[in-house]
Amino acid sequence: MRYIISILLENEAGALSRVAGLFSARGFNIESLTVVATNDSTLSRMTIVTIADDGIIEKIVKQLNKLIDVIKVTDLTATEYIERELLLVKVNVNQQTQIDIDKQIDAFSCKLIDVSEDIYTIELAGKSKKINDFLANLDASKILDVSRTGVTGICMKNRNLTKGV
């Protein structure tokens, strides 16, 4: 199953490598990882997507909690949550393909953020699945470059990771 884990940790040198090292040392897998400081510059928030079974996810959460720099760990997928990922993709456009690409851009509510000569630079935010679907709908031979941020997420309603830390 796919899990999204949110980690609040001290914004200190080496904290990222402790988390990454834990995943590799224990044989856990990382599908995506994002990390950046929160509004409090002493805190970082990391979001990790991993594919694991129930037993493994319990171990991952426990091992993460054991790291001294880690303040809080939440399995977002066990809560009501929102996930988003940002895609930047460049595609080759010509007169034959333009109509189809414009259609896809509309259908997925993408932003066309740069148009130069025969290249579109497209931005799309959404769930990973939506981004996967959009990319699948493009003609692969026309895709020039792809960059995805990886997933970030947040619990809905009054469940917070950073408040009161």
Partner 1 sequence: MKLNGAQILVNSLKSEGVKYIFGYPGGAVLHIYDALNACDEIEHILVRHEQGAAHAADGYTRASGKCGVTLVTSGPGITNAITGIATAYMDSIPMIIISGQVPSALIGNDAFQEVDAVGITRSCVKHNFLIKNINQIVNTIKKAFHIATTGRPGPVLIDIPKDITIATVEPKPYPNSVKMRSYQVPSRADSAKINAAADLISLAKCPIVYSGGGCIIGNADQELRAFTRQLGFPITQTLMGLGAYPATDKQSLGMLGMHGTYEANMAMHDADCVIAAGVRFDDRVTANVDKFCPNAKIIHIDIDPSSISKNVAVDIAIVGDVKLVLSDLIVKMKTKFIQDISLWWSQIDQWRSVNSLAYKTKLGVIKPQTVIETLYEVTKGNAIVTSDVGQHQMWAAQYYQFDEPRRWINSGGLGTMGFGLPAAMGAKLAKPELNVACVTGEGSIQMMTQELSTMLQYATPVKIVNLNNGYLGMVRQWQEFFYEKRYSMSYMDALPNFVKLAESYGHIGIKVEKEQDLKPALIEAFKQKDRTVFLDILIDPTENVFPMIPAGAGHHEMLLAGRDEMASMNDDGLNLV
Where along the sequence are the contacts to partner 1 (CB under 8 A)?
A: 9-10, 13-14, 17-18, 21, 25, 58-59, 62-63, 65-66, 68-71, 165
CB of 53 to partner 1, least distance (A): 13
Q: What is the number of other CB atoms lying within 10 angstroms of the CB of residue 103?
A: 11
The helix/strand/coil state of 162 is coil
Which CB, 69 or 102, lies closer to partner 1? 69
Which CB, 10 or 100, lies closer to partner 1? 10
CA dihedral 153, 157, 158, 161 (to 10 degrees): 0
CB of 113 to partner 1, least distance (A): 37
Which residues have C-beta within 8 Å of that of residue 102, sequence separation ≥ 6? none
The identity of residue 62, as a single letter, is K
Which CB, 80 or 164, lies closer to partner 1? 164
CB of 83 to partner 1, least distance (A): 25
H helices of 36-159, where?
54-66, 95-107, 128-137
CB of 151 to partner 1, least distance (A): 23
